[in-house]
Amino acid sequence: MKQTLLITNILNDPAALQAVGEAIRDGKTVVFPTETVYGLGANGLSEDAIDGIYEAKGRPSDNPLILHISRIEMLEALVASVSEDAQALIDAFWPGPLTLVFNKSEKVPYRATGGLETVAIRMPRHPIARAIIDAAGVPVAAPSANLSGKPSPTKAAHVIEDLSGRVDFIVCEDSVEIGLESTVCDVTQAEPVVLRPGSIGVAEIRQVTGKGHLDPGIHEVKHLVKPKSPGMKYRHYAPEAPMILIEGSMEEVVEYIRGLHLETERVGYLLFEDTLKTLEINGQTLGPREDPDIIALRLFENLRHFKAAEYDKIVCEIPARGTGVSDAIRNRLLKAAGNDLVILSKS
Ligand code: TXA
Ligand code: MG
């Protein structure tokens, strides 16, 4: 077990900031907040430091990581080239929740890229993330700071639950703004390809570059489940209990849930405010049906709420397709439910 130091109020504590920067240069692991989710950072140029990340997360070491930078001057040394599209996206969205995948330079270790010739880079806008990267003076490799298989952490409490005793520092401050991981966009192709949906949608990328598409590998729904026999495939990805995911209007969902007659089972409900109210049942609220930003910010915390010991299944609503954020929420919920979805709307 490691001795994990918790740090608060780091922006008003120059000595702590310097210590954390030094620790990163020295190959230690530091968890810090970003505007998307908390990251588990280490020196992105050191193979040993990167091994420390994998060890802390309990994650296989062939997963590629995002290198976080705080200044645009840090980019040049890490990539082979910056295309016109990439530059336009940088100008429009950095610093912010957009990760770009470039062809890597020789300086980037394969341990950071999972052996790939490409490297993912992001300049976060969160002031603490930027101050820490600045203090480190090196690109900071940082996956989401959850144990492998759990939802990404959006609160210091989640990080402490997952990684206490496994990392050197946890920089606490509950100031995540978005709640979903960054959009990952490959800019090594003829047009930008979104590999992971996030709050910045394909539409916004197209607005900037005039082109771009969602990776066809991101199949929205694998199984369209007939309402009578909802799929409840167990997924290792959070939450701990199997999920029934439902899409429909409030009225359709209310009728469907009443028809399931789940009264005698240990069911966790994760529903929109209006549905919960109408059904008059206890459950977690996803938030207001029409407000994807609020839904996104609470989503992972909501998923963490349902522990296997307490629930046999989770009945959860999914927002309709729409903006970047709604589509990113759909992506995460579909993953959590093993891509099974009950679609109730006739239209
Ligand atoms: O918002 C975020 O992106 C957070 C914060 C901490 O910055 N980080 C994060 O990292 O979500 P992680 O490791 O949990 O997810 C990184 C994603 C994965 O989907 C990975 O496959 C993709 O980025 N990725 C990384 N390098 C890549 C590469 N060279 N080519 C394609 N995809 C890559
Ligand atoms: Mg992750």
Q: Tell which atom from ligand 1 comes closest to the C-alpha of 68.
A: 7
Q: What is the CA radius of gyration of the chain?
A: 21
pLDDT at residue 346, as a whole number: 65
Q: Tell which atom from ligand 1 comes closest to the C-alpha of 99.
A: 3
The two structure tokens encoding residue 171: 């920089």
Average pLDDT of 230-243?
56
Contact 95, 130 (CB under 8 A): yes
Please state whether beta strands 30-32 and 39-43 pair in parallel, antiparallel, or not at all (unpaired).
antiparallel
Ligand 1 pocket: which of 61, 118, 119, 184 to mutate (most atoms within 8 A of CB): 184
Nearest to 260 by CA among 282, 228, 224, 285: 228
Cα(122) to ligand 1 centroid in Å equals 9
Ligand 1 and 146: CB distance under 6 A: no
Measured by CA distance, the residue closest to atom 21 of ligand 1 is 64
Average pLDDT of 73-97?
98
Q: Tell which atom from ligand 1 comes closest to the C-alpha of 38.
A: 6
pLDDT at residue 233, as a whole number: 39
Place of tokens 């949906």: 197
Measured by CA distance, the residue closest to atom 13 of ligand 1 is 143
pTM of the model: 0.94
Ligand 1 and 218: CB distance under 6 A: no
Average pLDDT of 269-291?
97
Cα(280) to ligand 1 centroid in Å equals 40
Confidence of residue 322 (pLDDT cuts 50, 70, 90): confident
For residues 105 and 109, give the distance between their C-alpha atoms in angstroms, rounded to a whole number: 9
pLDDT at residue 216, as a whole number: 85
CA atoms within 13 A of residue 306's CA, in its CB half-sphere: 27
H and E: helices and strands count for the chain: 11, 17
